[in-house]
Amino acid sequence: MSSPRIALKDYPEKFSIRRLRRAELPADTVNLARFLIGKVVVHDLPAGRLSGRIVETEAYPPGDPAGHHFRGPTPRIRSMYLAPGHAYIFFNYGAHFMLNVVSEPAGVAAAILIRALEPLEGIQLMQRHRKTIRLLDLTRGPGRLAAAFQIDRSHDGLDLCAPSPLWLGETSHRTVPIGKTVRIGITRAADRVLRFYERGNPFVSGPKRLLAPATGRRKAPSGSK
């Protein structure tokens, strides 16, 4: 499971990544969270390019009790009030940085947590940053992907749609069907179905808490990813 071919088996030897424009981003947090599945995070470092397909997101829309913005503006979340497509980076429990994409018009706080990536380019660099050669441990989970991609608070407020080292893009790779579940690891608004993921992708993180399609009732967990 440590071979890069797990990540690259559906890709040609050479492929291009086009930078996303802000005008392409859906003007709604939940719609943007779904839209970002299959898009690409790129970090151009002096040592080389890192890139990975987004395979899991969580939406934190305006007024969400589970969001950092629920109690109003603070210096720590200033970047959440920027225009859509900016980065909001926070340090979780003093242990892990986490990458979020701001998702509402300027002045309205909301964001999307990038929970997992499928590694594409710079895998050896990611392995060095994460101190592991196991491919599934590189970017499966928000803390892991930030470490693998060397993302920290210095990137907070960065415009991910502008020319810069850290940016959002897309390839011509076909996205498989998208699933949705409740979010992971929260206690407030825990039953809101605001987590999106690419079905069948081994890089999706966390337990699967599926919904019965007709009733919306939660199914029993069917293992973890």
- DSSP letters, the chain, are ---THHHHTTS-SS---EEPPGGGS-SSHHHHHHHTTT-EEEEEETTEEEEEEEEEEEEE-TT-TTSTTTT---GGGGGGGS-TTBEEEEEETTTEEEEEEE-SSTTS--EEEEEEEEEEE-HHHHHHHHT---GGGTSBSHHHHHHHTT--GGGTT-BTTSSSSEEEEE-SPPPPPEEEE--SS-STTTT---EEEETT-TT--SB---B-TTT-PBPPP--B-
Within a domain: 63: yes
Instruction: List the CATH number of the domain containing 145.
Output: 3.10.300.10
Within a domain: 182: no
Within a domain: 64: yes
Q: Kindly give the pairing relationship between strand 111-121 and strand 96-102.
A: antiparallel
Question: pLDDT tens digit string along 47-60?
Answer: 999 999 999 999 99
pLDDT of residue 208: 57
Amino acid at 85: G
Within a domain: 156: yes
**pLDDT at residue 126 above 90?**
yes
Within a domain: 218: no
Within a domain: 110: yes
Q: What's the average model confidence in pLDDT over 60-82?
A: 82
Domain count, the chain: 1
Query: Taking the model in full, what pTM does it have?
Result: 0.86
Which of residues 172 and 114 earns the better pLDDT score?
114
Within a domain: 57: yes
Within a domain: 129: yes
pLDDT of residue 10: 53
* Domain span at 34: 5-175
